[in-house]
Amino acid sequence: MLRFLVRRLLQAIPTLLILSILVFAWLRSLPGGPAAALLGDKATPEKIANLNHVLGLDQPVVIQYFKFLGRALTGDFGASLISTQPVMSEIGTFLPATIELGISAMIVAVVIGIPAGYLSARYRGGAVDNVIIVLTLIGVAVPVFFLGYMMQDVLAGPLGLPSQGRQTAGLDATSITNFAILDGIMTSEWDAVWDAIKHLILPAFALATIPLAVITRITRASVLEVLNEDFIRTANSKGLTQPVVRRRHVLRNGLLPVVTTIGLQTGALLGGAVLTERVFNFRGLGFLLAEGIERRDYPRLQALLLFGALVYVLVNMLVDVSYGIIDPRVRVR
């Protein structure tokens, strides 16, 4: 197992290196550049040239890349052009929001998706099934930002839910871990907990739509497959009651592929978070990335894109490792 892990880790290194070259080259090829972004509206070609010299941006790109790599290996990705804060500390500050949103969205997707998929399979071909299938199709097809704006305009007012931000502006809540709900619980500031939950509801549902639809479809397909298996027929013929058959045999076996899907969708949530966080002004990594792209914050983009890649690589590794545990043949191959 250890050798398998080490091998996977070693494979991740060239992947990240190649990605770092691609990201670096792409950002350097864009017109404008950090100096122009730093100087803003009053930038003149002379001021830009001067600043490029100060920052060493007039050196050959290869030298610039190795300098960047050298610093990156020590965890130094430089400072954001927008906030002048070190990018790594920005990631530390904004990551909890994304995790909070991602977990909430996943809870929504699982709690609604699995029962919906199961119901759909159980009443296959009926009205319930048809409604669920149509809804999942819409869920996959509607763009997150459109859904987000619609929720803000149509739902926020009538439901009394905040349409943006992580907390009510000016709310005097203690910040310890930057996880708003956790901080509220730790300090017994229950109004802050409730405030954070209210702010999470709309963005979590918006972000959940795609994984929710996918989980529903996979559950449905998987349960249908299990229902046709021999062992179900055996269970039925043994005289077990229907609830017992459904719970012990159908659901338990049908959930295996669903668990894998949940893992994969968790990775995909990161991408969805960019749009959701932007629309709901929910200050997480997605928000940070969107702002970085708009205002050409090169150091921030470099760090965030590589951080995202690292997360993907790690999630994939975890999935592979879990396969290795479930099926030892994978390790041998």
Partner 1 sequence: MQQLRLTRTRRVALIGLAGALAVSLSACAESKRDEGAGGGSGGTMIFGAAGNPKLFDPIFNDEGETFRITRQIFDTLIQNKPGTADLEASLAEKWEPSNDGKTWTFSLKQGVKFSDGTPFDATAVCFNFNRWYNMKGAAAQSQMIYYADVFGGFAKNESDDYSDPVYKSCEAKDPATAVVNLNKAKGAFPAAFTLPSFAMQSPAALQQYKADEVTQSGDSFTYSEYANKHPVGTGPFKFDSWDQGKGEITLSKNDTSPTQTAKLDKLIFKVIPDENARKQALKAGDIQGYDYPAPADYGLLRNEGEQVLVRPPFNVLYLGINQSGPAGDKLKDPRVRKALAYGVNREQFVKSKLPEGAEVATEFVPKTISGYTDEVTKYPFDQQKAKQLLQEAGATNLTLKFYYPTEVTRPYMPNPADVFTSISEDLKAIGIKVEAVAKPWNGGYKDDVQKFGKQDLHLLGWTGDYNDAGNFVGTFFGRKKPEFGFDNPQLFQALAAADASPAGDAHAKAYQEVNKQIMDYLPAIPISYGPPAIVVGPKVKGLVASPLTDERFNTVTVN
Site for partner 1 in 281-300 (CB under 8 A): 281, 283, 291, 294-296, 298-299
Tell the smallest beta-carbon distance from residue 99 to partner 1 (Å): 13
Report how many residues bind partner 1 under the rule CB under 8 A: 75
- Dihedral sign computed on CA atoms, order 28, 293, 37, 51: negative
Tell the smallest beta-carbon distance from residue 283 to partner 1 (Å): 6
Q: Which is nearer to partner 1, 57 or 142 (CB)?
A: 57
Question: Which of positions 157-176 make contact with partner 1 (CB under 8 A)?
Answer: 162-172, 175
Tell the smallest beta-carbon distance from residue 167 to partner 1 (Å): 6
Tell the smallest beta-carbon distance from residue 271 to partner 1 (Å): 19
Tell the smallest beta-carbon distance from residue 249 to partner 1 (Å): 17
Tell the smallest beta-carbon distance from residue 128 to partner 1 (Å): 25
Q: Which is nearer to partner 1, 77 or 307 (CB)?
A: 77
- 79 forms part of the interface with partner 1 (CB under 8 A): yes
Q: Which is nearer to partner 1, 7 or 247 (CB)?
A: 247
- 187 forms part of the interface with partner 1 (CB under 8 A): no
Question: Which of positions 195-214 make contact with partner 1 (CB under 8 A)?
Answer: 195, 198
Question: Which of positions 263-282 make contact with partner 1 (CB under 8 A)?
Answer: 278-279, 281
In the chain, % helix, strand, coil (3-state, to 5) comes to 80, 0, 20
- 178 forms part of the interface with partner 1 (CB under 8 A): yes
Question: Which of positions 11-70 make contact with partner 1 (CB under 8 A)?
Answer: 30-32, 34, 36-51, 53-55, 57, 68
Q: Which is nearer to partner 1, 81 or 213 (CB)?
A: 81
Question: Which of positions 81-110 make contact with partner 1 (CB under 8 A)?
Answer: 81-87, 90, 93-94, 96-97
Residue 86 in 3-state DSSP? strand
Tell the smallest beta-carbon distance from residue 214 to partner 1 (Å): 28
